[in-house]
């Protein structure tokens, strides 16, 4: 399994919003600048056949119209499965119609397949087994993912039972670290330290940074904690 961190930031940062792509075809979140970052990394957008959406805040969905415009022009011949919280299809329709009217209605109807997710839902994408875990991000239905019992993705989350389970069932955790001290909306570096305490071999790649948090964490020199830049590529041998 190979992955590229497309964005390590948040709406408050200079970096792109948190997103990643796995094995060239599984896109996790599609917030602002995700498509531009994919193009900079020379990805062929036509390879994408699966999109995972953690929740419906703007920094996770706003590049959806840009993606649709691009792949409609490029041309594809396969369905794109979008695994997302209930109600995502209607919200995406509204977003696309706000920007482009009904220009892409036929394309969406022909090529996009929206699939609702919920806690513990399991599905297969090619050779990958993906498990959905509900996490706590106050005010909105939110999820993280476990892929092949190796890669864990928290999405935006406070330290909660869902995050702890994602961590237990993964080798590498891509996790929200927006804050220095976590709260009920986002994790902080204090939560990451707690998760890693008394574990061996587990690693955490931190994302969803605010700029001040990123600079603070860089100076801590923590074992098994990776602070990376947009475009960082890795495999499970990190």
pTM above 0.85, yes or no: yes
48-71: pLDDT as tens digits: 999 999 999 999 999 999 999 999
Count: domains in the chain:
1
CA-CA distance, 4 to 221, in Å (whole number)?
Answer: 23
Q: Which of 10-19, 46-55, 131-140 has the lowest mean pLDDT?
A: 10-19
147 Cα distance to chain centroid: 12
Cα 228 to the center of its chain, rounded Å:
15
Per the structure, the complete domain to which residue 225 belongs is given by 2-235
d(CA 28, CA 18) in angstroms, rounded, equals: 9
Tokens representing 135 are 């996490």
**Integer Cα distance of 170 and 148 in angstroms:** 8
Is residue 137 predicted with pLDDT exceeding 50? yes
The candidate with the shortest Cα–Cα distance to 18, out of 31, 27, 1, is 31
Q: Taking each helix axis from N to C terminus, what angle separates 64-74 and 88-100, rounded to the nearest 10 degrees?
A: 70
pLDDT tens profile 69-114: 999 999 888 999 999 999 999 999 999 999 999 999 999 999 999 9
Q: What is the mean pLDDT of the segment spanning 1-7?
A: 94
Contact, 10 vs 230, CB < 8 A?
no
Enter the tokens of residue 197.
């305490």
Is pLDDT at 238 greater than 50 in this prediction? no
Q: What is the pLDDT of residues 159-203, one digit of tens each?
A: 999 999 999 999 999 999 999 999 999 999 999 999 999 888 899
Q: Which residue has the tokens 């590049």?
A: 63
- What CATH number should be reported for the domain holding residue 109? 3.60.15.10
Q: What SS3 string covers 23-69?
A: CCCEEECCCCCHHHHHHHCCCCHHHCCEEECCCCCHHHHCCHHHHHH
Backbone angles phi, psi at 81, to 5 degrees: -85, 125
Tell me what the pLDDT averaged over the chain comes to.
94
């Amino acid at each position: 399994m190979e992955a590229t961190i497309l964005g390590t930031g948040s709406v408050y940062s200079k970096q792109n919003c948190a997103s990643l792509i796995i094995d060239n075809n599984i896109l996790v979140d599609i917030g602002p600048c995700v498509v531009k970052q994919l193009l900079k990394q020379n990805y062929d957008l036509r390879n994408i056949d699966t999109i995972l959406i953690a929740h419906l805040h703007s920094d996770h969905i706003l590049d959806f119209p840009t993606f649709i415009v691009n792949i409609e022009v490029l041309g594809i011949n396969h369905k794109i499965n979008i695994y997302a919280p209930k109600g995502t299809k209607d919200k995406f329709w509204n977003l696309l119609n706000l920007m482009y009217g009904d220009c892409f209605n036929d394309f969406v109807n022909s090529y996009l397949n929206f699939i609702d997710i919920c806690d513990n839902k399991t599905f297969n994408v090619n050779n990958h087994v993906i498990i959905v875990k509900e996490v706590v991000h106050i005010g909105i239905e939110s999820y993280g993912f476990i892929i092949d019992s190796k890669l864990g993705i928290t999405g935006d989350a406070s330290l909660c039972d869902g995050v702890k389970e994602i961590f237990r069932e993964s080798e590498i955790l891509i996790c929200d670290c927006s804050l220095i001290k976590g709260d009920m909306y986002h994790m902080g570096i204090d939560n990451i330290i707690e998760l890693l305490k008394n574990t061996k071999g587990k690693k955490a790649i931190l994302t969803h940074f605010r700029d001040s948090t990123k600079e603070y964490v860089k100076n801590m020199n923590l074992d098994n904690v990776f602070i990376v830049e947009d475009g960082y590529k890795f495999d499970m041998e990190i």
